[in-house]
Amino acid sequence: MRLSHLVYPVVQPLLKRLRRSPWLIRYVFGVRLPRGVAVQYDPTTVLLARTMNEMVAESLAKRTNDRPLRLLEMGIGQGALVSLSIAAQTPPDQVKIDGVDCSPSRVNSSQEVARFNKHDVQFWLSDLFSEVTSESTYDFIYFNPPYVPTQTGRELQLTRRLEVDGDQMWDGGDDGASVLRDFLDQSRRFLAPGGCVVFGVQEIFLPDALVREAMEPYGFQNVQKRKPRWLPSTVYIGYGANE
């Protein structure tokens, strides 16, 4: 039996309440939830938010001009917690934050959470980059992608367990890396010079070797990996080839 099938059914019910707690979401991400809006996060959301906040702060400290950093979150989910945590911690004139998702209900929900927190961000519907204008380029493009292999997710009944309205929340295709590959491929032309992609996965579903293999064809440079001991997730950073 695979590790994911042993671990997930035990851990998921224990964490279910924590992952939806408005109090914890406010504490961890600095985001307040309007009454009646259900938002959940996973360990990768936490690590991606932490990594992005660190990277944005480092970039702002090092920059030599007044231009705001341009950020794009792929797959904002129900509450755009990564983007709104950056908005909560960064002066509004120093970042321009965009975000997209392929699910209309998740875009609506994220827009409502952003309005409630009075953050000036733009969220819209897009299947990966299909609705991102070709003139747009970003310093950071970040994604907590669906990375569970289809068969594994079906066996673990993830859509039912997570109580979400579709498989897109977790379904990474046959080997778990299909959406990630498409994202990496398409993201390259939306990266500003010196810009990078930042994405997170859980190795229990998507092992390091497979992530590296997925990144390899697209020529990302200076690939870095961040893996804290206290979380089951890993974040990868890759810089565009035009750096």
- The span from the CA of 143 to the CA of 169, in Å, is 12
Q: Which of 29, 55, 69, 106 forms a contact with ligand SAM (CB under 6 A)?
A: 106
* Sequence-ordered list of residues with C-beta below 8 angstroms from that of 217, at least 6 positions apart, any chain: 185
Query: With binding defined as CB under 6 A, does residue 101 bind ligand SAM?
Result: yes
Query: With binding defined as CB under 6 A, does residue 108 bind ligand SAM?
Result: no
On whether the CB atoms of residues 226 and 235 are closer than 8 A, the answer is yes
- The span from the CA of 101 to the CA of 107, in Å, is 6
On whether the CB atoms of residues 201 and 145 are closer than 8 A, the answer is yes
On whether the CB atoms of residues 89 and 28 are closer than 8 A, the answer is no
Query: With binding defined as CB under 6 A, does residue 41 bind ligand SAM?
Result: yes
Query: With binding defined as CB under 6 A, does residue 43 bind ligand SAM?
Result: no
Query: With binding defined as CB under 6 A, does residue 103 bind ligand SAM?
Result: yes
Determine the length of the chain: 243
Query: With binding defined as CB under 6 A, does residue 153 bind ligand SAM?
Result: no
Three-state DSSP class for residue 56: helix
- Give min distance, CB of 227 to ligand SAM, in A: 17
Q: Which of 51, 53, 90, 144 forms a contact with ligand SAM (CB under 6 A)?
A: 144
- The span from the CA of 84 to the CA of 95, in Å, is 11
Query: With binding defined as CB under 6 A, does residue 45 bind ligand SAM?
Result: yes
Record the tokens describing residue 62, joined without a space: 């090092």
On whether the CB atoms of residues 152 and 4 are closer than 8 A, the answer is yes
Query: With binding defined as CB under 6 A, does residue 168 bind ligand SAM?
Result: yes
Q: Which stretch binds ligand SAM (CB under 6 A): 20-28, 37-45, 202-210, 228-236?
A: 37-45
Q: Which of 33, 53, 77, 85 forms a contact with ligand SAM (CB under 6 A)?
A: 77
Q: Which of 43, 75, 153, 195 forms a contact with ligand SAM (CB under 6 A)?
A: 75
- Widest pairwise Cα distance in the chain: 54
On whether the CB atoms of residues 194 and 239 are closer than 8 A, the answer is yes
- Give min distance, CB of 67 to ligand SAM, in A: 26
Query: With binding defined as CB under 6 A, does residue 128 bind ligand SAM?
Result: yes
Q: Which of 55, 69, 169, 198 forms a contact with ligand SAM (CB under 6 A)?
A: 169
Q: Which stretch binds ligand SAM (CB under 6 A): 55-63, 94-102, 133-141, 153-161?
A: 94-102
Query: With binding defined as CB under 6 A, does residue 176 bind ligand SAM?
Result: no
# binding residues, ligand SAM (CB under 6 A): 21
Three-state DSSP class for residue 141: strand
Beta strand 122-125 pairing with 95-101: parallel
- Contact residues toward ligand SAM (CB under 6 A) are 41-42, 45, 74-77, 81-82, 100-103, 106, 127-128, 144, 146, 168-169, 179
